[in-house]
Structure 1
Amino acid sequence: MPTALITGASAGLGAEFARQLAAKGADLVLVARGAEALETLAAELRTRHGVAVEVLTADLSVEAEVARVAERVSDAGHPIDMLVNNAGFGLPLQFADNDIDDEVRHLRVHVEASMRLMHAGIRSMRGRGGRIVNVASVAGFISRSTYSACKGWLIGFSRWANSEYSRDGVTVTAVCPGFTHTAFHSRMGLEPGREGVPALMWLDAPLVVREGLRDAARGKAVSIPSLRYKVIVALTRVLPGSLTAGVARRGRV
């Protein structure tokens, strides 16, 4: 059976990736900071789907712990066939008012950890094949604070890496959801109808993951779940940046 390693797997999109991949028969390596939540999910998936599930606790803002996860990705004796870079967190949009150490930790988790794990994954998968899924956001197509900048980097790098390494059998896909019902937004106090975000703009996690996995299987570099967000991203290419940045201040995606 193929094996998938998923970061940020204890809740939200990470847990949904784990559930859908386990339902397809994939063995899993679940990575997150909280061991208890990971063990609970692992037990559920083993019982329900009969797959092997390994738990690896790590804080991806700490370089030594990222290195430990990268070592697992590189383990030729127990190869990883799919890497899902999903770990992340949000900060208030007012960069100048945020603690700079929080901003640096935010950058490390979203960009540095993803880059290090992609490096390990591509080196391990070249020649034998594999898939890398980077959970980005539609925020990566607009200008606002450091979250947008991190996701923009992830989208741009995924595009290049997919083109460069698909010839070696490795595909890289940036999955770019909009507002999604997960703990990511609820932890920030953002729910449907709040901060000017209408209920119509919210997606369900199973749809985001299902479409993301489908596009990854097709070798697409960028996956934008749902027609409504495909239209929004298309509009960002023609609307003035000042307009899209103004609209983006209403919420976080």
Structure 2
Amino acid sequence: MRFDAIPWRPCVWMLMSILLLLSTACSPKIQGWSQESYRSSGFSNDALNQERLALLPVIVLERPLEKAKAPEGRVLSAPYSPQSPPGDGREEAPLNAYDAYRVCLGEILLSKIQSRRPNLRLVPSNDALKRLNDEGLTSAYRKFNRDFPKVGFDSALLKSFGKALNCRYLFVTQAVVTEAKADASLSIIWTFGRQSVLRSVRISGQIWDAVSGQQVWEGSGVGYNRLTAYEGLPLIEEMANQAVDKLLDTIMP
């Protein structure tokens, strides 16, 4: 066979196309799911529409994480990113990512509730905090924010919050954010020789009746992405949007 008879040019173009495809990050696909785990027999969407609903700030759960050790003078980097240069030995105050997640999730939650139920008598989380501070409940709220994930609502505290906010229903949300970083909780899966990373935002919500002192509803939503080597990193906001949408699908369809 003559080598000059082989159609080299189409093969070269095909090879270049494959290399270009592999070198370009694909858009990550965000998936999600939702679940309603509890609804009181006396609670309905009509009841929610007739009463005032107060949003409390999202509680971002901090879980103890095992951190990998970095080489001397270096900070561990996220996957697919270069290593940081050696430090000068001075310690810097760590950024509180949980506060950033709280603000981000709170804004998304408020925006989506307002778009789904524009006529709902809603007290945003910022207004709720201001009212609680004005009523001298700052310390009580701090204790609630710390203890709620472990023990739930104390009936007397719930009623005092409802009175201060002039709302019958309080919407309490908790979130867990999983990021593709060396110091975060993540799952590594090997599929056909390719490494993938699971990243997710999970948000659970509870609605409490400040008059009866009882919980009347609970549900959850998750936004997640399985990141492969040729996909771009999804923004936390993208997964948070999906998680909040899934959560609200169960209570405000």
TM-score by length of 1: 0.32
More helix by share: 1
Q: Which has the larger radius of gyration?
A: 2
Question: Which fold has the larger relative contact order, with Cα–Cα distance below 8 Å and residues 6 or more apart in sequence?
Answer: 2
Greater share of strand: 2
Q: What TM-score comes out, normalization by structure 2 length?
A: 0.32
